[in-house]
Amino acid sequence: MFIDRAKIKVEAGDGGNGCMAFRREKFVPRGGPSGGDGGDGGSIFLRATDQMNTLLKFRYNPLYRAERGRHGEGSTCHGSKGEDMVVEVPVGTLVYDADTEELLADMTEPGQTIMIAKGGHGGRGNAKFATSVNRAPRRHEPGWPGQDRTLQLELKLIADVGLLGYPNAGKSTFISAVSAARPKIADYPFTTLVPNLGVVQLSNFRTFVIADIPGLIEGAHEGHGLGHQFLRHVERTRLLLHLVDVSDFSPRDPITDFETINRELRLYNPEVAARRQIVLATKQDSVYEGDERTAALQAYCEKHGLEFYKISSVTGDGVPPLLERVYHLLNEKPEEATPAPQEMTETVARYEAPSDAQG
């Protein structure tokens, strides 16, 4: 089960109480105060790990409590410190204070560790209060309470490339063809219900990571389909591959599909919509009656300065040069992103799907 949001409560350990005691031993004249200090409470740390890819464990274990410090004892024996607790979270986790909505940490690197709740200080025993004018103090302190807070965890998968497109545009087939990822593939909409990550391996040990998210439909910003609940996973990507179904079996217009998805992306996050996009005309193996739909989409992309590739994930046609181009773009010097097309004000010639087209 893929869970990318969770709320947890963390409670650092309280400090131990200081002790009030007086030493009375043979051969120790005027023993005096001997109450030891309490130990500090354990703190709670969050550590990013690449061995997890979901927040599922936090759904069933929402409370994390560190050990409290031991109390001080006589003979100036100080209490031991409470043991710290380290809670591992997936790389890419955003940590918010659930009460103030303040962003506390962005866990982007494996091994990154932060203290999220500090343990309380131990109280001082009466031995600490002895002075030249007060040789038998009866004062001691209780331990300080540890910090407790409620955290909202939000996972944003870290990938180099994000896949966009309508349901059944061929995203899952594409990621399964270019990586070892094995998402569910079927001939009905919303086959992909959770994001998938795949590592693409090229020659000379070159690699990059692709994120496949569930398909979007018109009105996603209003909660239609799967809404925007998974779009956060493309926020960290540097490049978007926009897959458009141009097969003879699709009843939709490719250009309308492309504009609709970009409109939904802008409504979600204009910065993500402005990322560089490569348009992929998918399912070329299912084009039997000419390539009018492909040609119309290609002309549209050329008109608006968008890179365009024709591919078939089933046969592999067009895929190798695409992957080489993606790797080149990911490793070139940072440039200003090529914006996604805005709403078109000009009339664009479109291919009209036949009314009896099969879905």
Contact 153, 58 (CB under 8 A): yes
**How confident is the model over 205-209, as a mean pLDDT?**
84
Q: For 155-196, how does the pLDDT look when each residue is reduced to its tens digit (9 = 90+)?
A: 877 778 888 888 877 888 888 888 876 654 545 444 444 667
What are the C-alpha distances in Å from 100 to residues 44, 95, 150? 19, 12, 10
pLDDT at 47: 95
Q: What does the alpha-carbon distance between residue 310 and residue 51 come to, in Å, rounded to a whole number?
A: 36
pLDDT at 233: 67
Q: Which CATH superfamily is domain 161-331 in?
A: P-loop containing nucleotide triphosphate hydrolases (3.40.50.300)
Between 236 and 304, the more confident residue is 304
pLDDT at 215: 54
Residue of 107, 189, 119, 180 lying closest to 147 (CA atoms): 119
pLDDT at 290: 63
**How confident is the model over 52-67, as a mean pLDDT?**
88
What kind of fold does domain 5-155 have according to CATH?
A: Spo0b-associated Gtp-binding Protein; Chain: A, (2.70.210)
* Per-residue pLDDT at 82 exceeds 90: yes
Q: For 108-155, how does the pLDDT look when each residue is reduced to its tens digit (9 = 90+)?
A: 889 999 999 999 999 999 999 998 888 889 999 999 999 999 999 988
Query: Which letter does DSSP use for residue 75 in this model?
Result: T
**How confident is the model over 96-117, as a mean pLDDT?**
92
Q: What does the alpha-carbon distance between residue 139 and residue 160 come to, in Å, rounded to a whole number?
A: 61
- Domain-wise residue ranges, the chain: 5-155, 161-331
**How confident is the model over 94-114, as a mean pLDDT?**
91
Between 280 and 179, the more confident residue is 280
Q: What does the alpha-carbon distance between residue 349 and residue 202 come to, in Å, rounded to a whole number?
A: 38
* Per-residue pLDDT at 226 exceeds 60: no
The mean-pLDDT minimum among 2-11, 227-236, 292-301 falls in: 227-236
Between 336 and 47, the more confident residue is 47
